[in-house]
Structure 1
């Protein structure tokens, strides 16, 4: 299997399997105690969007891993814009080492933390990456579940002979590497109740001009590149 997109899609399918087997199964009973009949569906999307959402009609948690996101996390330049890379660096997850394996395993934990956050009733509009979310994410790394997810992903990729590097790489300084941002990219900046969602309309050397989306529609911001991140 030498086609990068086919490899990335298979890695996405393995991320789904790891999320369901390593993260969901031990927590399912607790989640179902809060909402009887809750289920989880993991899928691989065709774009870069990577997210958790909940369908109240069917009581179904849905986690999507974007194909373009998976491809991006194979190279330092492309990986540097993602929130997962900043979390590993700033919070010391996986000893602060950023590699393709660590980034993808952490992405599984990040989205699953959103599932647990929603289940606990601590996810609010305008307050997604809040203190409660990071308490959950920290716990996933501290109690060994993140490491278990990492090892399972590494083992399964090896079984399918899919390249998945665990070699740490150095991410470029985002201030000096603005080219990975493009007009129309969906971005987020700030945190907690000050977290703003928007779309890039202009890329400058050190800043991007961002039009607000959703409840921020009608607002325009000039944001330092170092503050921007993609949605997961």
Structure 2
């Protein structure tokens, strides 16, 4: 059964607590030596957006974990499009093994690395995922902090009766995903009020070009293949 948004939000609250307890608390003293009065607030958003922001007026760092991001990282096909999946595989974090637990633990480390990057003055417009960022992220994994985050997430989820899959899964490559689609296929993507329907007009190197149908007619989208779902012919206007 797919993870519901409500379940994802409960799991997101665990990500918030673990980020604060395992990553922020040990580093807080060092951070405040450089930026006195710095604070951290974590929250769960309803969409996919997952990010770190700093508000200088209150000297507050904010980390948001998107509920739909959490849902996406429970399935191999939707996890494939996330940078965290590529980082785990390419940089051999968690021995390169992809699982929901590994992906979510790494997401905590990824966003906290942005916080540390900002504190170090190494985050600049147009240069976010730069060498300095990956030096920080590598250190979080080498030091054992990432493992500590993962183990705490698993323990807290078990204590609260929240399912957090730990089994490894394989992700289909983007090229293999694209090969399952053809020009003329009717598709849908998005969910709820944001669900969109259309027809594939072109297969690109990494995406499909989709022309909207029905109330989306006249609009054109470039959609990663992992976000597409087949639309029954009877639903096409």
Into which bin does the TM-score normalised by the smaller protein fall?
A: 0.7 to 0.9
Aligned counterparts of 1:97 and 1:147: Cα–Cα separation in 2: 13
Asked if the contact 1:87–1:93 (Cα under 8 Å) also holds between the matched residues in 2, the reply is: yes
Task: Check if 1:32 corresponds to 2:5.
Answer: no
Residues 84 and 103 in structure 2, CA contact (< 8 A), matched pair in contact too = yes
Report how far residue 171 of structure 1 moved. Answer: 0.3
Cα contact 2:3–2:74 (8 A) shared by 1? no
Structure 1 residue matching 2:175: 3-state secondary structure: coil
- 1:89-144 per-residue CA deviation (whole Å, 9 max, x = no partner) reads 00000111100000000000000000000000000000000000000000000000
Stretches of 4+ aligned residues off by more than 2 angstroms? 178-184, 202-210
The answer on whether the counterparts of 1:182 and 1:203 sit within 8 Å (CA) in structure 2 is no
- Are positions 1:141 and 2:152 aligned together? no
Q: Deviations over 1:76-98 (max 9, x none)?
A: 00000000000000000011110
Alpha carbons of 1:131 and 1:203: their partners in 2 closer, same or farther (altered >3 Å)? farther
Quick one: structure 1 residues 29 and 5, their matched pair in 2 at CA, closer, same or farther if it must change by over 3 Å? same
Distance (Å, rounded) in 1 between the aligned partners of 2:188 and 2:135 = 32
Structure 2 length-normalised TM: 0.77
CA distance in 2, matches of 1:21, 1:28: 10
- For residues 1-232 of structure 1, the aligned pairs below 5 Å read 4-178=4-178, 204-208=203-207
Partners of 1:67 and 1:88 in 2: how far apart?
Answer: 21
CA–CA distance in structure 2, aligned partners of residues 101 and 26 of structure 1: 22
Aligned 8 A contact 2:3 2:71 in 1: no
Structure of greater Rg: 2
In structure 2, do the counterparts of structure 1 residues 168 and 83 end up closer, same or farther at CA, with 3 Å as the change threshold?
same
- In structure 1, stretches of 5+ residues that fail to align are 185-201, 211-222, 227-232
**8 Å contact 2:51–2:63 — kept in the other structure?**
yes
Q: CA deviation at 1:28?
A: 0.5
Deviation at 1:164, TM superposition (A): 0.7
Deviation of residue 207 (structure 1)? 3.5
Report the secondary structure of 1:104's partner residue. helix
Distance verdict in 2 for CA 1:203–1:108, change over 3 Å: farther
Q: Which residue of 2 aligns with 1:193?
A: none
Give the aligned CA root-mean-square deviation in angstroms.
2.5
- Structure 2: how far apart are the matches of 1:98 and 1:142? 18
| Alignment coverage as a number of residue pairs | 195
Deviation at 1:34, TM superposition (A): 1.1
- In 2, the alpha carbon distance for the partners of 1:13 and 1:44 equals 7
Residue 184 (structure 2) aligns with: none
